[in-house]
Structure 1
Amino acid sequence: MNLLIGIFYCTFWYSSILAGYALLYCPIWPVLFISNKYYRKLTDLIFRFWELYPTAMLHYFGTKFIITGDHILHDDRAIIIMNHRTRTDWNFLWPIVHYASDQLNHNLKFILKDPIKFFPGPGWVMQLSCFLYIKRRWDEDRCKIKNLVEYISSLKRNYQILIFPEGTDLTPKTLEKSHQYANKYNLKKYYQVLHPRTAGFCFLVNQLQKRKHFDAIYDLTIVYADHIPQTEHDILKGSLPNQIYCHIKRYGSTEVPSTEEELKTFLTQKWMDKEYELANFEKTNQFFIKNSQLIPLRTMLLGLHILGLFIRNLRYQALKKQNNQ
């Protein structure tokens, strides 16, 4: 049963990417030669509405989101930071942003590892949608981040840029490397998160501040209450989490420091807080319960309900087939 669910989910998800690329992104490509700004508006609109698709699928495949803290303001020119628990976090971030945004008018961009851009379908679409790919070579990445900030500032559009400060997802191998880093610099060892890399975060914040294109930092903490889909293979096997918690804390521009050393301290403190909260959740199964307001989940659009009925019917048919065997 789980395998059938995984196959259905991955098939629907991947086919939507390929269809969107072929039927929506490719036809509007000539607009780029007429107006770069108008082309970017179109790609932003297409991607924003596509985000509803995985949101609806996860809803009807039974994944429940419990989101607390602050709403994400759609018109904020912001940076989003989040702990990188699994390689598939991005798949669950879209529903979180959808549910947490005050309006369906956000513009989310990711900073990702360079090899992803070559992945057929998702890599192509995210390139066309102005996602940034970095190579983990600071001289090159520094220029890429600077160029991105200059570009989005010139468009005078409000974007939310997601960066994973840890640089990679949490696995036994990456945790061991994090411990080695902690030993080298006499830092406390973390077990729920990895020690964050500060250079890219500090530079991104400074560049946005320099161009007065910065309103806030959103600090997201995600935790999977049961199944942890560490890789895409886990999702293919149908190991979708039943419940996902996410806490959101907004820091306005006046609360964010401007010097590199102060930004390093700011970021490392947030990761210390994450380590504490995630360790507490592991012990008590309670997550950010102090002074936290539950964010009500947005009602699905009618078209997505129709999609949901189709998905539920497939699940029913798969379960019926399994019971008959």
Structure 2
Amino acid sequence: MNTADAELRQRVKTAPDPVPAPNLAAGVTAGAPAIVEHPSGKEGHGKAVQILRGVLFALFFFTTVVAIQFTQWIGSPLYFINRDIFYSYMAYTKQLFGIAIATMTNWWGPTTIRISGDESVAGQIRKKTDGRVEFDFPERMVMIANHQIYTDWVYLWWVGYANKRRMDGFIYIILKQSLRYIPILGTGMMFYGFIFMSRKMAVDQPRMAHRLQKLSAKHTDPEGKSYLDPMWLLLFPEGTNTSANGRRKSAAWAQKMNYKDPEHILLPRSTGMYFCLSELKGSVEYVYDCTVAYEGIPRGKYGEDYFSLSSTYFEGQPPKSVNFHWRRFRIADIPLETAEAFDQWLRSRWYEKDAIMEQYLSNGRLPASPTKLEDGSEQPEYIETEVRTQYPWEILQVFSVVGTVYLLYRLIVRFLAKF
């Protein structure tokens, strides 16, 4: 265990669980913070520029999403012909969305991504010669993270794009049921195989069981070898992003259950994750945990008050840096015998995560990756990069299938016109 790990675990030990009921007002602020200087370090654009950026962003997002939606509908008949080909095709359309969000973030909300990890992910995060980062995470895993702002999923989806074997086509997210009814986007997410929850386990459990069984189903290749489809299942155990209201609810839950209430994040709800891991056990080896922190958020304040979709993409005030610290846990070592044992395990990881966030707020850095030198000593290390695609013209792929179909249609029309 390295020195940083030992310090973090010592911090957690100093606050055993359970503890006396916490102060419900701790870490809770009333109303929006008084902003002197925006954490992005940039002055917001004027109204005219904001409107122009908003129009251009809306045009980009609408055309790419509609193109991807048409691409999905074009391939939908494959469902009745060959299911394996259908799911591979939908994975391709999911990759197109990964390209779209990486491009829109690079164009409208550029930010520094600062990455580190503990010894469990040593050698799995590398910087390439062109400045991009390459992750070497497995093809099947469960990914969990604290939920800071609504765009967390954008940066985590990009991790799939930046993986050695591109995994942005195999990301599955558990979402609120209401999101499936959003025009165009809701249909697209259903094509992607995302899991929608009503937050009523009596309703959600059969639906989740069906989807998770499909994700853990074994297939047989032409040579008779069995294999599992690639899968990254993204979960936010807190259930919602950190906010003043979320902190109140977390504190109230901690008081009710006589738990220690973390200072910088929300208490995780373990029921959904416990069910997922129980269903996937034997088909997935690791849980990858990401602690996410945004530069410049003052202590006791909340990211949603500074980095909304509008400020990030319209006002020109994206986060100055998005910070990731990765850890890996073997599922075989996670107590899944009972829901109570797992709940305690997950809370302990979240208390460690809270200590990690305290370190960030104290010195502006998450724990560094330990890098061994030739003399056996360790040197702290971070990898800094940006959200971008491999090639600037990669966004054109989003329109490739629709464009090809349109050209074929024109050729057929011209051919038939001759008769």
Both proteins in one fold, TM over 0.5? yes
Aligned partner of residue 51 in structure 1, secondary structure = helix
Q: Report the alpha carbon displacement of residue 290 of structure 1 after superposing the two structures with TM.
A: 5.8
Q: Report the alpha carbon displacement of residue 282 of structure 1 after superposing the two structures with TM.
A: 1.6
The structure richer in helix per residue is: 1
Corresponding residue number in structure 1 for 2:56: 8
Q: Report the alpha carbon displacement of residue 140 of structure 1 after superposing the two structures with TM.
A: 1.2
8 A contact 2:116–2:326 mirrored in 1 = yes
2:210 aligned with 1:147: yes
Please give the root-mean-square deviation of Cα atoms over the aligned residues, in Å. Answer: 2.5
Stretches of structure 1 that go unaligned for 5 or more consecutive residues are 308-325
2:172 aligned with 1:109: yes
8 A contact 1:74–1:104 mirrored in 2 = no
Corresponding residue number in structure 1 for 2:29: none
Q: 1:176 to 1:167 in 2, by over 3 A?
A: same
What amino acid maps onto 1:44 in structure 2?
A
2:256 aligned with 1:184: yes
8 A contact 1:31–1:38 mirrored in 2 = yes
Distance 1:282 1:10 in 2: 35
2:136 aligned with 1:58: no
Corresponding residue number in structure 2 for 1:79: 142
Q: Report the alpha carbon displacement of residue 176 of structure 1 after superposing the two structures with TM.
A: 0.4
Q: 1:272 to 1:7 in 2, by over 3 A?
A: farther
8 A contact 2:312–2:319 mirrored in 1 = no
Q: Report the alpha carbon displacement of residue 8 of structure 1 after superposing the two structures with TM.
A: 3.2
2:133 aligned with 1:133: no
8 A contact 1:84–1:164 mirrored in 2 = yes
What amino acid maps onto 1:232 in structure 2?
L
Distance 1:186 1:254 in 2: 29
Corresponding residue number in structure 1 for 2:417: none
Corresponding residue number in structure 1 for 2:362: 283
8 A contact 1:10–1:236 mirrored in 2 = no
Stretches of structure 2 that go unaligned for 5 or more consecutive residues are 1-44, 125-134, 220-227, 298-302, 371-379, 397-419
What amino acid maps onto 1:48 in structure 2?
Q
Distance 1:304 1:249 in 2: 34
8 A contact 2:112–2:320 mirrored in 1 = yes
Distance 2:54 2:295 in 1: 19
2:349 aligned with 1:301: no
Q: 1:38 to 1:233 in 2, by over 3 A?
A: same
8 A contact 1:78–1:159 mirrored in 2 = yes
Q: 1:38 aligns with which of 64, 85, 93?
A: 85
Q: 1:306 to 1:185 in 2, by over 3 A?
A: closer
Q: Report the alpha carbon displacement of residue 258 of structure 1 after superposing the two structures with TM.
A: 2.8
Kindly tell me the number of residue pairs found equivalent between the two proteins: 303
Could you tell me the TM-score, scaled by structure 2's length?
Answer: 0.66
Q: Indicate the larger mover: 10-19 or 279-288.
A: 10-19
Corresponding residue number in structure 2 for 1:19: 67
Could you tell me the TM-score, scaled by structure 1's length?
Answer: 0.84
Deviation digits for residues 188-211 of structure 1, max 9, x if unmatched?
A: 2223211000111111101111xx
Q: 1:214 aligns with which of 284, 290, 293?
A: 284
Identity percentage over the alignment? 21
Q: Report the alpha carbon displacement of residue 264 of structure 1 after superposing the two structures with TM.
A: 1.7
Corresponding residue number in structure 1 for 2:33: none
Q: 1:196 aligns with which of 268, 293, 303?
A: 268
Corresponding residue number in structure 2 for 1:316: none
Corresponding residue number in structure 2 for 1:164: 236
